[in-house]
Amino acid sequence: MAVDWMWGWQFEAACRGEDSSLFFAPNYFEKRDQKEGREAKAKALCARCPVREECLEYALQIHESHGIWGGLNEMERRQLLRERALRAG
């Protein structure tokens, strides 16, 4: 059951079969406009994904620190976690 929650949703992901370089920064310096363009393409794919919420929650649960997950980049996910923590008190 836990494995299904962690991985089962990936079979339905819109990004399944896509090149991971769309979602993760390269190992070399990436110019700002290149990063913004790459992330915009990844986020557009995420926007139409049927399991976007599951993907995002997975990334938040494991504190994923790299890439686009559920339509959010690293900084956006950190901000979301901070906002949730503030609401929870």
pLDDT tens digit sequence for 22-46: 999 998 899 999 999 999 999 999 9
Q: Is residue 27 assigned to a domain? A: no
Q: Is residue 8 assigned to a domain? A: no
Q: Is residue 62 assigned to a domain? A: yes
pLDDT of residue 41: 98
Rounded to 5 degrees, φ, ψ at 50 are -70, -15
Q: List CB contacts of 64: < 8 A, sequence separation 6 or more.
A: 58, 74, 77
Q: Is residue 73 assigned to a domain? A: yes
pLDDT of residue 4: 60
Q: Is residue 20 assigned to a domain? A: no
- Domain of residue 63 covers 50-89
Q: Is residue 30 assigned to a domain? A: no
Q: Is residue 69 assigned to a domain? A: yes
The model's pTM? 0.88
Instruction: Tell me the helix, strand and coil percentages in the chain, rounded to 5.
Output: 60, 0, 35
Q: Is residue 7 assigned to a domain? A: no
Number of domains in the chain: 1
